[in-house]
A and B are shown apart, each in its own frame.
Chain A
Amino acid sequence: MSKETFINKTRPHDSAYKHVSGFADYTDDIKEPKDTLYGAIGLSKKAHAIIRKIDLNKVKSSEGVISVITNKDIPGRNDVGPVFDGDPIFPEKKVEFYGQPLFAVAATTIELARKAVMKAKITYKNLKPVVTIKDALDKNSLLFKVKKIKRGNASKKIINSKNSLKGNFTTGSQEHFYLEGQAAFVIPKEDNNFLVYSSTQHPSETQQLIAKTLNQKSNSINVLVRRIGGGFGGKETNFMTSCICALLSRKTGKPVKLRLDRDEDIIITGKRHEFYSEYEVGFNDDGIIQGLKLKLASNCGMSPDLSLAINERALLHIDNAYFISDLEVANYLCKTNTSSSTAFRGFGGNQGMMAIENIIDNISRNLKKDPSTIRKNNFYQKNSKNITHYGMKINDNVINEIFNKLEKKSNYKKRYLQIKKFNKKNKYKKKGIAITPLKFGVSFTTIHLNQAGALVHIYIDGSVHLNHGGIEMGQGTHTKIAQLVANSLGLPYDQVHISSTNTSKVPNTSASAASSTTDLNGAAALNAISNIKSNLENFIKLKYKIYNKNPIYKDQYIKFGNKNFEFKKIIKEAYLNRVSLSSTGFYSTPKINFDKKNFKGRPFLYFCYGAAVSEVCVDTLTGENVLERVDIIHDVGKAINPALELGQIEGGFVQGQGWLTIEELNWKPNGQITTFSPSTYKIPAVSDIPKIFNVEIFKEGINIEKVVNKAKTTGEPPLMLAMSVFYAIKDAIASVGNYNIIPEIDAPATPEKILMSINKIKNKIL
């Protein structure tokens, strides 16, 4: 066999043509049968209260209303919690967040349904809400027991360290703001079956939870998802919409569409976990961390949802790219009266990484050294300092290479000095620069989720139909998997068709999450192809008396040495000879294991690496700022489709930039959210992106593990490249105090927070 070759082909997203011409259907675009009804949900106006009375008379008599449902209309489980209970569809006694669903209606139009729910009269007995992490910690309002992890003896090391620092740091919450809001469309079928279209990252769990809600078997529910308009983790759980829609359809016996409008979507559904940390760190004169003690608390909202796994990932990424010999972390999962915090790109990993990056940044400023040097001094190495705090040996470390390459390419050192000069000359404009690394572990840390299935048919005309368990949410997984399959069969790309993800075609799938959709489902698809190939090859070998030859699939031919078979013809021939041309495929990730209790093992198959340099200019009178330039090198292994990976890197970066700069959620002390629409919650717009934006894929990248195409996922990790923006802003602020005072600033670094941080420094100088 010749040297291994990889697909490396840029091609448009499989739906690009449809996206730009308006023919790509999302859940709300599916044409409804004539008798379709439209749903709306009635929400709690209190964050924490006992429900005294729900009077729905005026709702029922409102124009167009066909049916109203409450918790009494739920035949099965009144909870949509994915792992633990705690997310009632309609609570019976107590509301636990502002906007919690209490009832729902089906009406003849969406406008009438929405007008009707506003007519409910609900009386409450108010309870005191817990809204902030601080509140929750003070009142010991926790969802789980405090989780403690430990390596070595951090306390002792800190005492013996030459230098030490203490401090605290917060990273804020974030709304997903997928452009397509939550939507479901449920059509009743015979035998009490339901056909469900849902805007979800997790069709299998949608299926299971609807079945449980309706008290039916999973085999009576079929969930279809062609594509979703963005997910970012916000559609990984949040099964409320589809379950309520199914209840309305069951009650009325009619097709029902339920689409949340933007305000409801932001009010009802969960967001990113805010994290608060308190640290104590000991370090030597080279800035190398000797010991680190950390208290890490997150705002989980009113229920567990995925908070346990999210906090676990925060703990697993508290090292980012740094070897920490002695570490102690206590993790608090705070329960508050806000919507249940949920998965969001990075899944806690990014919050853990921001905590350590802030510590490293402060160490550098304390030692008055270039943070870049201190970062490098702490990096994991190849042959020593290569065991993580959870006992996993890192075999694929390329952070030193990427970091050094980027430093050179971006001219970091020179610019670092130029900026200091600039700041000496300018009083009202201050520049800042920062380079940050990222290392992100890939695999679900809940081991059993690392499995995937696929179903491949080859039809008599030689065309290929493929289904797999992954959801197309913009990342291009269908495009990449079709590329893998076409390549494996030696067929042109357009011979492979991928249709809606469908629970009746591929069962028991995991969510499209943890960045592993293409890794897992691509491998499952190739497994199915390999089964079909095996049938084909056995048939050809037997019929044409070919022995011991491995065929090559190329240019629509199957080639056994000098014997060539045209793909189309041989497929038809195989069919006529009664050979199976269809197969399921399956994949489960090898090598991984994790002992959650002792926090030990190998939770990840591999790591992604990358680094970014950001330069900002800050207005010290207003806190306004611009992102002047960003340089990125990111490892994607051997990219299947470089254009799509580039899109993920840039998009992830800007999303992370939003998280750390302008995206700010706000709750009143009574628990009512005040930022629930794009007029009050600002995600990055076009002028926010870097003025100069150089993104490079790490050319030497390869996945040393057995992953399809030796690729590495892009998915979540690029979000964390944006850490450099935050620390560049902090660097600019530090210049106000001539770099002698460590700035105090939490994320997001809004203009207001920046100005206040600058003022604190000014006050200290005075």
Chain B
Amino acid sequence: MDSGVVKLLFNDKILELSNPDPNQTILNFIRTELKKTGTKEGCAEGACGACTVVVGELNKNNIEYKAVNACISFLPFLNGKQLLVVENLISKEGKLHPVQEAMVKYHGSQCGFCTPGFVMSLFSMYKNHGNYNNELIKDSISGNLCRCTGYRSIIDAGKSLNRISKIDQFSKNKKKIIKLLKKINSKNIFITNQDKKYFSPKTIKDLKKIIKKNPNSNFLSGGTDLSLKVTKERKDIQNIINLKDIKELDFIKKNKKFIEVGAATSLIKFEKFIKKHYSDFNSVLKRYGSIQIRNVGTMGGNIATASPIGDTLPILLSLNAELVIETLKNRKILSINEFFISYRKTKLKKGEFIYSIRIPLYKNNIFKAYKISKRFDDDISSLCASFNMEINNNKIINIFIAFGGMAEIPKRAKICEKSLKNKHLSIDVFLKARNYLEKDFNPIDDMRASKNYRLEVAKNLLIKCFHEIKSKKLLRVN
């Protein structure tokens, strides 16, 4: 059954919105329709965290509390979910939530404008974890900018949560909320609002039907990039097909040869899984963006967007990942190394979508990846490098090197690779090989880095990689 009604939980009640504007952001909805102004707009691009809200999602018999950027999520995203804004945390009697109390006690607010966002990020951390160490706290608020405090007081507020009870109004109310969430979480969504359409199918079968009828639609798979068309370019997006409600696209499987990850799997879910297989992949993913972004952004979304600075792409290139692509009729497999054609253009044809990504498991290879950016947290790469090599008896048997931020597409360094293949693992070989990167790449100057810097660092990362292999240590400052 299709329905144009978006159902969500707010204030413990079911809200039904009939055919809402699918281009309306959640932030806009909260401020102008729910008339709650605690949630702020700081940037309208998901890069400051002032708009952070928490979305309660049913996961088996539990509720997951995900922090998301309300400024770049469209309203239908809330379908079947609980929306929590900063005003909801305070009890009916006016008592502050423990997270709010901690922020007051540790002087975590000054001008206060970013504060609701921090409260919601910390709230999500508080609900989803039991222990709050430095690393977790920093990761939880890495997508929230504060210009006043210098963060120390906010970190201390986060740490203090270790010393307080985990029981709050939400844990007391959990059964009731789960019941309500189950009630609203079933139908395909099909919204028509003037000339705009929004589809959110639950199965691949339904998805294909919709694609057939609406071939000119935009796929939404997290939308952290697509939504900027509305919030920054001030354009309308006519037809949207949301992929995130399709359970068949949200999975991680593993066999002896490869890991297979569904295209609509969130980055945050994948980063946890991949850690034990490719720890540098995990490190780069943690810096891909904030938790708010990684909570909604997907593996498939990052690939299909095909940005030259998409952080998973050079890694997948060097690992020789394969893409399982669904066409309206059948399924095909394509190497990611053939996927990117030119700036933001891929081999994906109209009506096709990515089903999954297969990441080979190399038993004996050395894998390393580096992300270089001006800022450590939540920054776009100046460049991103990935190295995958098989070394036997001090000889390079196989080598795959790829870079992001060095060309109009994420790209392999094939000339450099060639110069290294079948050579001995020695510094002289690498010193010579690094110069071939100049033949592989001709990067651009922009506000993030100059061409010179990009080339220079690309070469240096090759050397760093060598020294890390040789010394069996990580030579990194952070």
- Taking beta carbons and an 8 Å cutoff, which residues of A are in contact with B? 12-13, 15-26, 28-29, 31, 111, 114-115, 118, 176-181, 227-232, 261-263, 428-429, 473-476, 617-619, 621-626, 643-644, 646-647, 650-655, 662, 664, 666, 674-675, 677-680, 682-689, 693, 750-752, 755-756, 759
Contact assessment for B477 and A429 in the assembled complex, using a CB-CB cutoff below 8 Å: yes
Measured in the bound complex, the distance between the Cα atoms of B451 and A756 in whole Å is: 12
Which residues of the partner chain A approach B449 to less than 8 Å between Cβ atoms? 752
Contact assessment for B96 and A650 in the assembled complex, using a CB-CB cutoff below 8 Å: no
Q: A262-B43, A647-B148 are in contact. Are A755 and B37 (CB under 8 A)?
A: no
Contacts A178-B113, A666-B447 aside, 9 further interface pairs with beta carbons under 8 A come to: A19-B103, A19-B109, A20-B96, A24-B112, A26-B113, A624-B477, A651-B148, A683-B145, A687-B138
Contact assessment for A21 and B90 in the assembled complex, using a CB-CB cutoff below 8 Å: yes
Q: A180-B113, A428-B467 are in contact. Are A689 and B150 (CB under 8 A)?
A: yes
Give the contacting residue for B234; candidates A26, A115, A624; CB below 8 A: A115
Q: A474-B112, A621-B464 are in contact. Are A21 and B89 (CB under 8 A)?
A: yes
A-B contact count (CB 8 A): 246
How far apart are B118's CB and chain A's nearest CB, in angstroms? 9
Contact assessment for B377 and A687 in the assembled complex, using a CB-CB cutoff below 8 Å: yes
Looking at A115, A227, A752, which has the most chain B CB atoms within 10 Å of its CB? Answer: A752
A-facing mask of B86-120, CB < 8 A → 1, else 0? 11011000001000110111011111111110010
Q: A179-B42, A686-B138 are in contact. Are A750 and B377 (CB under 8 A)?
A: no
Contact assessment for B104 and A625 in the assembled complex, using a CB-CB cutoff below 8 Å: no
Give the contacting residue for B96; candidates A21, A229, A755; CB below 8 A: A21
Give A26's nearest chain B residue, CB to CB.
Answer: B113
Give the contacting residue for B104; candidates A12, A262, A619; CB below 8 A: A12
Which residues of the partner chain A approach B343 to less than 8 Å between Cβ atoms? none
Which residues of the partner chain B approach A181 to less than 8 Å between Cβ atoms? 42
Within 8 Å of chain A (Cβ to Cβ): is B172?
no
How far apart are B406's CB and chain A's nearest CB, in angstroms? 14
A-B contact pairs, 12 of them (CB 8 A): A21-B90, A179-B48, A230-B111, A262-B43, A621-B464, A623-B453, A623-B457, A651-B148, A680-B448, A686-B141, A751-B382, A756-B453
Measured in the bound complex, the distance between the Cα atoms of B96 and A18 in whole Å is: 10
Measured in the bound complex, the distance between the Cα atoms of B232 and A759 in whole Å is: 39
Give the contacting residue for B43; candidates A12, A111, A677, A751; CB below 8 A: A677
Contact assessment for B232 and A263 in the assembled complex, using a CB-CB cutoff below 8 Å: yes
Give the contacting residue for B457; candidates A21, A179, A622; CB below 8 A: A622
Contact assessment for A474 and B148 in the assembled complex, using a CB-CB cutoff below 8 Å: yes
A-facing mask of B29-47, CB < 8 A → 1, else 0? 0000001111111111101
Measured in the bound complex, the distance between the Cα atoms of B198 and A285 in whole Å is: 76
Measured in the bound complex, the distance between the Cα atoms of B87 and A114 in whole Å is: 29
Contact assessment for A474 and B87 in the assembled complex, using a CB-CB cutoff below 8 Å: no
444-474 of chain B: CB within 8 A of chain A: 446-450, 452-453, 456-457, 460-461, 463-464, 467
Q: A654-B150, A689-B151 are in contact. Are A621 and B112 (CB under 8 A)?
A: no
Contact assessment for B232 and A688 in the assembled complex, using a CB-CB cutoff below 8 Å: no
Closest 4 pairs between A and B when the two form their complex, measured CB to CB: A22-B38, A229-B113, A474-B111, A19-B112
How far apart are B418's CB and chain A's nearest CB, in angstroms? 23
Which residues of the partner chain A approach B464 to less than 8 Å between Cβ atoms? 428, 621-622
Measured in the bound complex, the distance between the Cα atoms of B30 and A22 in whole Å is: 12
Give the contacting residue for B447; candidates A651, A674, A693; CB below 8 A: A674
A-facing mask of B146-171, CB < 8 A → 1, else 0? 11111111110000000000000000
Give A695's nearest chain B residue, CB to CB.
Answer: B152
How far apart are B99's CB and chain A's nearest CB, in angstroms? 8
Which residues of the partner chain B approach A622 to less than 8 Å between Cβ atoms? 370, 372, 457, 460-461, 464
Within 8 Å of chain A (Cβ to Cβ): is B10?
no
Which residues of the partner chain A approach B50 to less than 8 Å between Cβ atoms? 179
Which residues of the partner chain B approach A19 to less than 8 Å between Cβ atoms? 103, 109, 112, 115-116
Q: A20-B103, A686-B151 are in contact. Are A474 and B372 (CB under 8 A)?
A: no
Contact assessment for A21 and B448 in the assembled complex, using a CB-CB cutoff below 8 Å: no
Give B151's nearest chain A residue, CB to CB.
Answer: A686
Which residues of the partner chain B approach A115 to less than 8 Å between Cβ atoms? 234
Within 8 Å of chain A (Cβ to Cβ): is B142?
yes
Q: A21-B87, A25-B37 are in contact. Are A651 and B110 (CB under 8 A)?
A: yes
Q: A16-B104, A179-B50, A674-B447 are in contact. Are A22 and B39 (CB under 8 A)?
A: yes
Contact assessment for A688 and B44 in the assembled complex, using a CB-CB cutoff below 8 Å: no
A-facing mask of B356-376, CB < 8 A → 1, else 0? 000000000000001010111
How far apart are B181's CB and chain A's nearest CB, in angstroms? 23
Which residues of the partner chain B approach A228 to less than 8 Å between Cβ atoms? 111
Measured in the bound complex, the distance between the Cα atoms of B72 and A677 in whole Å is: 14
Which residues of the partner chain A approach B115 to less than 8 Å between Cβ atoms? 19-20, 24
Within 8 Å of chain A (Cβ to Cβ): is B478?
yes
Give the contacting residue for A230; candidates B87, B100, B113, B144; CB below 8 A: B113
Looking at A19, A473, A618, A647, which has the most chain B CB atoms within 10 Å of its CB? Answer: A19
